[in-house]
Amino acid sequence: MFLTISTTGDEKNPAADLGFLLHKHPGRAQEFSTSHGIAHVFYPEADAERYTAALLLEVDAVALVRRGKGKDRGGAPDAALGRYVNDRPYAASSLLAVALSSVFSSAIRGVCRARPERARQSLPLRIEVPALPARGGPGLVLRLFEPLGWTVIAEPVPLDTEFPEWGDSRYVRLVLESTALTLAEALRHLYVLLPVLDDAKHYWVSSDEVDKLLRAGEGWLAGHPEQTLITSRYLSRRWSLTRQARERLELVRLAEADDSEVEEIDNAVEEETATEEKPTPLAVQRRAAILTALGSAAAARVLDLGCGQGQLVQELLKDPRFTEIVGVDVSMRALGIASRRLKLDRMGERQAARVTLLQSSLTYTDQRLEGYDAAVLSEVVEHLDLPRLPALEYTVFGAARPRTVLVTTPNVEYNVRWETLPAGHTRHGDHRFEWTREEFRSWAGQVAERYGYTVEFTPVGPDDPEVGPPTQMAVFTRIVKEEKAA
């Protein structure tokens, strides 16, 4: 794993200042131990006009497996041999980024007691990385580095020069040139963007990585056009950490726009608001809305159709109003998880008598589902192909015919409010469709008319004035016909 940093100079600004800025003497080679191998620093060229510092990292593949993201640490599920024989010793990655920050720690902070004025000045820089993984191709390399003031060459590396018909590998030869950046800025760009391009890290990503990212990204990340991709990849796609980083970067952007300090904006809210509870997750709000509707319907015997892993069944069991609860799912695996969640094997006799888990398909009639006060279809209908919906409708409304039926489903109009959801995508990979409010109301109205129910609609979650709530709920009530007197 190899990287070179070159600069040129003249009598006024000699190239030899690079040695002072890096805190590494050009007259001797130096070695530095890392947790994954040995880092070597040396100068292939050092004359009056041009200095080049090289960082060579020798990776110990065994140490990488033993100390890094290997067994039981979330590492990639490679074959046993693949964990020792891979591209980690040869291709620039988070290993090289960590070596940069360790070996050149003073330089990356912009500290140089011998040449403090040079540490603050831009330099004519040329950085070369012979083998850089580029998940996203040369185009992504340009999109990451060019907005930072670099002239970029991202030359694809062929799979095999002897067989050009095999095409290019996922690696590029990277050359960066700039006259507008300080050495510290250049090193911080590399520290963040090398693992971003590799899209992997050799160590466990925890909350302190957000602070590292913001320190290294100070002055450039908040306004970078690829900020979302950078934060997501750098933080190993951990959603909570990515959200935290982006919120803090937004504060930085607002402070810069207002020509003020971040602390001034962050403290604009009264101190007591910092103790406010976090927003209630939508799934929790959905279950609360269902329990409220079941209570209003005076339901005691309840079916949870498509119960999944038993979250709603668990909530129903906490409420003594529900005397009989039946969880139904087609997946035995889901029912097994639900059983463990509910601790059925350790549940008291009286509590266990209230709950039953059944395997059944909602597209086939099942006499065991008849005669209940209420049935819940929570986030179920969107998992069925549209041609199969009529079968579910008959099973629930035509055959089982509970007095009350609750149906919740996503409101596709609200999807534009999810920043992390790409346009045109559903909220879950298994969703066959997601309805607008009008489509849901039309479907529910037709079902109610066909099977003798009335239907009302309730928003679940924040009801946006433009796009409605994130979840929409229909409450069906069976029409009871009075018997004629004899």
Q: How far, in Å, CA of 244 to CA of 242, rounded?
A: 5
The conformation of residue 150, written as its DSSP 8-state character, comes to: -
Query: What is the DSSP annotation of 181-198?
Result: E-HHHHHHHHHHHHHHHH
Give tens-digit pLDDT for 348-386. 888 899 999 999 999 999 999 999 999 999 999 999 999
CA separation, residue 430 to residues 54, 171, 365, 383, 444 (Å): 50, 34, 24, 6, 22
Dihedral sign (CA 465, 467, 471, 477): positive
The fraction of the chain above a pLDDT of 90, given in percent, is 60
What's the pTM value of the predicted model, to 2 decimals? 0.54
Terminal CA-CA length for the chain: 94
Q: How far, in Å, CA of 233 to CA of 154, rounded?
A: 20
pLDDT band at 191 (very low <50, low <70, confident <90, very high): very high
Lowest mean pLDDT among 24-28, 179-183, 395-399: 24-28
* pLDDT at residue 413 tops 70: yes
Please report where in the chains the tokens 């950078």 appear, as a residue. Answer: 230
* pLDDT at residue 272 tops 50: no
Give tens-digit pLDDT for 33-56. 876 788 999 999 998 889 999 999
Output the pLDDT for position 63.
62
CA separation, residue 141 to residues 368, 374, 473 (Å): 60, 57, 46
Output the pLDDT for position 121.
92
Give tens-digit pLDDT for 287-344. 999 999 999 999 999 999 999 999 999 999 999 999 999 999 999 999 999 999 999 8
The residue count for the chain: 486
pLDDT band at 346 (very low <50, low <70, confident <90, very high): confident
